[in-house]
Amino acid sequence: MARHPAIPRTDELTVGQRAADRMRNGMGSWWFIFGALAFLAAWIAVALTGIAPIDNRQLTILNLVLSCLAALQGGILLIASKRADQISADLAEHDYATDQESLRMLRALHAHAHGSNCRCWEAA
């Protein structure tokens, strides 16, 4: 698959950009969601069936872990969103530069074909 010229290669990214991409691809995946749901379902099943005795300390730890995950997830989502916005901005900038170069080439071609006295490209 061809790489878009406005998107830098992995070795050209900073450590923070690579980490943001990994977090976005990992936490924004169905595997992460299903894994988290499976973990919670297993924890609830163990707690409800009494397979392993769960005391208040373990429930407090689970509550703490889920609270920390919720607190961090907001920041992680912002980092991933910022990285996605940066990629979109790079693509838009490349697209604009390509459009401007195409316009310059069309004007030159038109001037060559119709002579330099044609004012077809001027704003009305």
Per-domain residue ranges for the chain? 17-112
Q: What is the pTM of this model?
A: 0.44
Q: What is the pLDDT of residues 51-81, one digit of tens each?
A: 777 777 777 888 888 888 888 777 777 777 7
Q: What is the pLDDT of residue 116?
A: 62
Q: How far apart are CA 121 and CA 12, in angstroms?
A: 40
pLDDT at 118: 62
Residues 23/80, Cβ–Cβ less than 8 Å: yes
Phi, psi angles (nearest 5°) of residue 88? -60, -40
Question: For residue 9, what pLDDT band results from cuts at 50, 70 and 90?
Answer: low
* pLDDT tier at 1, thresholds 50, 70, 90: very low
